[in-house]
Amino acid sequence: MVEKTNPMVSVCMITYNHEKFIQEAIEGVLMQETTFDFELIIANDCSTDRTHDVIEELIQSHPKGYLIRYFNHETNLGMMPNAFFALEKCDGKYIANCEGDDYWTDPSKLQKQVDFLEVNKDYIISCHNAIIIDNENNVISPAKLPLSQQRDFMSVELMKITPILTLTAVYRNKLNDLPDILKNSPNGDTAIFSYLGQFGKSKYHHDIKNCVYRVHEGGVWSTKSQSIKHRMQLKTFANLAKYYKINTYKEVSLHFQQRVFYVNTLIINEAKSWTKIRLIFLAIIIYIKKKEYKDSLRLIKIYTKNYINNLLKFI
């Protein structure tokens, strides 16, 4: 492990049981050709396979192994606590992300993104596209972002959440003051990119080769059920709604309140009959306690209408 420096970019890499993939991830970072200093922060969340051994071997054998600052946890923290642990170790003016099962393909990626951000102070994030592959390196999709989303986004669009691919992003290190309510969001990258939107716009680069996003059976996000994803989104959106309400961004807060309502209806619709009734009742109670009476009435209206429509099918 090297001593702390003041690099231009800190690359944040979290890993757990990525023995098969971690070397490719690390090499994609270390191959970067830059005119500035960068560091690679690796936080291993107590992997039970040979991930630790592979990392140690690369630190010793790779010509740029000295750029790695490695942290190997003795107990499992969980994905988001490990991610924020790693982010807190990032000393760079800019932060880039690449998880241990993804990898970069363009050696000029960091240089291009930092060059742009250095000149364009009104931009907070620089990003691009990625391809999707499976466990056997077969291409599932040549582009993770559709054409309509391959563009720049304004500040308010970022705040309301835009499709920024975490493994492609380079952004100004503004996370020292990130509030606890956002740190406690299950979708941490979503909360971070929304928070960053307060400070500027995002730039989409068409001239950077696609990174590689890997879908595999050990993937933390891709293997979660839709029901679990909805519950994670629900808490994240609720946290963002509360944060922006406190900070007087009324339009953005209302946007996330509406997202909470929408995801709530999805969760209710996933449930079976009696569980659905219970969830509707609990949701209404929560809205009333929060004095969000309009949402309470909307929920009653939606499910009363659905109930009547279902009855009419049998008449």
Residue 313 pLDDT > 50: no
Provide, rounded to the nearest whole percent, the portion of the chain with pLDDT above 70: 82
pLDDT, tens digit, for every residue of 170-195? 999 999 999 999 999 999 999 999 99
Stronger pLDDT, 26 or 221, i.e. the higher one: 26
Residue 309 pLDDT > 70: no
Give burial (CB, 10 Å; 0-12/13-18/19+) of 127: buried
Q: Which residues, in sequence order, are bridge partners of residue 69?
A: 41
H helices of the chain, in order, are 22-30, 51-61, 79-88, 109-119, 155-159, 180-183, 188-196, 226-246, 250-270, 273-289, 293-312
Residue type, 140: I
Predicted local distance difference test score (pLDDT) of residue 5? 62
| Average pLDDT of the residues of the chain | 88
Give burial (CB, 10 Å; 0-12/13-18/19+) of 77: middle
- Choose from 13-17, 134-138, 225-229, 265-269 the range with maximum mean pLDDT: 13-17
**Number of residues assigned to the chain:** 315
Residue 87 pLDDT > 70: yes
Nearest alpha-carbon partner for 168 in 99, 65, 92: 99
Predicted local distance difference test score (pLDDT) of residue 217? 75
**Pairing of the two strands 170-172 and 123-127:** antiparallel
Q: Tokens for 12, please give them.
A: 């944040």
Torsion over CA: 6, 72, 12, 139 (sign): positive
DSSP 80-126: HHHHHHHHHT--SSEEEE--TT-B---TTHHHHHHHHHHH-TTEEEE
Alpha carbon distance 28, 22 (integer Å): 10
Start-to-end CA span in the chain (Å): 73
Residues 197-202: what's their mean pLDDT? 97
Residue type, 189: D
CA atoms lying within 13 Å on the CB side of residue 59: 16
Residues 235-240: what's their mean pLDDT? 94
Give burial (CB, 10 Å; 0-12/13-18/19+) of 237: buried
pLDDT, tens digit, for every residue of 7-45? 999 999 999 999 999 999 999 999 999 999 999 999 999
> Which distant-in-sequence residues (6+ apart) come within 8 Å of 231 by Cβ?
186, 267
